[in-house]
Amino acid sequence: MSVVAPVLELAGVRKSFGPIEILHGIDFALAAGEVHALIGENGAGKSTIMKILGGFIAPSVGEVRLDGRPAPYHSGAEAEAAGVVVIHQEFNLAPDLTVAENIYLGREIGRVFLDHRAMRAGTQALLDELDSPIRPEARIRDLPVSDRQMVEIAKALSRKARVLIMDEPSAVLTSREVEVLFRQIERLRAQGVALLYTSHRLEEVTRLADRVTVLRDGAVVRRALRGELTEDGMATAMVGRDLEDIYPRKRHHPGEAVLEVHGFCVPPLVADVSFALRRGEVLGISGLVGSGRTELAEGLVGLRPATGEIRRNGVPVAIGSVREAAARGMAYLTEDRKERGLLLDKNLRENLTLSTLARFGAPFLSAAREEAALGKAIADFDIRAPRRDMKVGNLSGGNQQKLLLAKTLLADPEIIIIDEPTRGIDVGTKSQIYAFIDALAAEGKSVIVISSDMPEILGLSDRVLVMRHGRLAGDLAGERISETAVVRLVMGTAEDAAGNPHHV
């Protein structure tokens, strides 16, 4: 498709994790001296493609070609040696070492003793080339995020990168820092480096990319050259998918406001958020990863220091801990079920009752009552465990999630905030969890669903709030909830409900 022979390409690549195929035959080529943007919704397969290109995982079917031949690497380190360097979102730098020590990490100069002077000089030369004022002696820990990004780029250059793969490099940068980044990208392009760039900010793609590849559900749905696609065209290409009927028939009958939030701030990210939650409704919160959705939820249930007014059934309340939130009938189900949700080395019973242990007897716990509660949870939530006394860490993700839901609901909360209800679980369990959420709203509870999964937000919510950069970017209800409308608000390419422009 291109006249220039590609440096790095994917030919007919498929990738499966277990029984689930997530890439369905990807053909993709990167040419020297171009910036190639790869865009798509969360879960479309961008990260998997980057991991395959960077040698971190191998394709199940198909091959990776470097200079037209099968790529000679099987690990990230070997890929780097071959000139294919990935800059990850979470940087791969040792925070306590200096810039120079990081750049030469693993290939230090010197035999018995390190030649600090040579490494400093080499680092300085690299940084000069990038027009960066960073000192080689600076510790990574002391540098702002944009400088760390620059160090990553310098490190990539020092490894003579021919292909540079950047995973949302602008996500953590301020607009001024983004400008610096763009100048470096343009300089690298002029030097003949092949660059793969992913970003959720479509205006950046318009500005930088020579070519755009749009992914949806693990397949390429659109390829375009510079100027062929508008930002709206990109958003439309990224979405445009029918909602599957794994979603329940919503249409609840929301009642009075049970929770009103006014001028709510969770420093440093979330600022001035106001909304109301009504009885018997499912309120979706959409937004990019890092837009402050989780921080907002954790602020509401007292897991993070926050300011602003919270009214519960019209009465102002102060919530400083999860216990106080529970006392107000509020519960939060974390997105991180392995690190924050469940004790992986404990059994089902101990996990189920942990947050409501006081109900199971004082001073002595009643094992019989705990077992009875577990029996009920297993039946109600269809938790499939080979043995009741097994460690929760050995359950499948879907069963862990159902147990976590059972644990959260054991406290019988009136307001349930569920963060990423179906992350990493299969479709069958997903639809079960959707049915649970729907049933909660139907019986008069209020549910907030935070999700990066667009169909999920659309399929579950009676109303959708969209967050961007820690603020509410818009509020959609009823007929106005559409994938395009949400994506526009998420990306900041459209006007919100009130007609206020919301450009980044």
Partner 1 sequence: MSDATLRPATGLHLPGLSALGPLLALILLVVLGAFLNDNFLSAGNVTNVLARSAFIGMIAVGMTFVITSGGLDLSVGSMAAFIAGVMILAMNALLPGMGVGVPLVLAGMAIALAVGLLAGLGNGLLVTKARIEPFIVTLGTMGIFRSLVTWLADGGTISLDFGVRQFYRPVYYSGLFGVAWPILVFAAVAIAGQVAMRHTRFGRYCEAIGSNDKVALYSAVNVDRIRLLTYVLLGLLVGLATIMYVPRLGSTSGSTGMLWELEAIAAVIIGGTALKGGYGRVWGTVVGVLILSLIDNILNLADLVSPYLNGAIQGVIIVLAVVLQRGKSAA
Question: Which C-beta is closer to partner 1: that of 20 or that of 77?
Answer: 20
Q: Contact, 315 vs 478, CB < 8 A?
A: no
Distance CA 270, CA 259 (A): 18
Instruction: Give least dist CB 339 to partner 1, A.
Output: 6
Instruction: Give least dist CB 398 to partner 1, A.
Output: 13
User: Does a cis peptide bond (omega within 30 degrees of 0) precede residue 268?
Assistant: yes
Question: Which C-beta is closer to partner 1: that of 303 or that of 458?
Answer: 303
Question: Which C-beta is closer to partner 1: that of 332 or that of 434?
Answer: 332
- Report the interface residues with partner 1, using CB under 8 A: 303, 321-323, 325-326, 332, 334, 339-346, 350, 354-355, 357-358, 362-365, 367, 371, 386-390, 394-396, 407, 411
Instruction: Give least dist CB 426 to partner 1, A.
Output: 15
Instruction: Give least dist CB 346 to partner 1, A.
Output: 6
Question: How crowded is residue 90: how many other Cβ atoms within 10 Å of its Cβ?
Answer: 7
Distance CA 30, CA 7 (A): 6
Strands 307-312 and 163-167: unpaired
Distance CA 324, CA 354 (A): 16
Instruction: Give least dist CB 323 to partner 1, A.
Output: 5
Kindly state the helix (H) or strand (E) to which residue 175 belongs, with its residue range.
helix 175-190
Instruction: Give least dist CB 95 to partner 1, A.
Output: 19
Question: Which C-beta is closer to partner 1: that of 341 or that of 470?
Answer: 341
The two three-digit tokens of residue 165, written as one number: 């793969």
Question: Which C-beta is closer to partner 1: that of 344 or that of 481?
Answer: 344
Question: Which C-beta is closer to partner 1: that of 183 or that of 384?
Answer: 384
Distance CA 397, CA 412 (A): 23
Kindly state the helix (H) or strand (E) to which residue 184 belongs, with its residue range.
helix 175-190
Q: Which amino acid is at 501?
A: P
Question: Which C-beta is closer to partner 1: that of 390 or that of 504?
Answer: 390
Q: Which residue has the tokens 């960077």?
A: 54
Distance CA 115, CA 321 (A): 52
Question: Which C-beta is closer to partner 1: that of 61 or that of 357?
Answer: 357
Distance CA 437, CA 427 (A): 15
Q: Contact, 235 vs 488, CB < 8 A?
A: yes
The two three-digit tokens of residue 123, written as one number: 């680092």
Instruction: Give least dist CB 396 to partner 1, A.
Output: 8
Distance CA 270, CA 250 (A): 30
* Cα 22 off chain centre by: 17
Instruction: Give least dist CB 259 to partner 1, A.
Output: 18
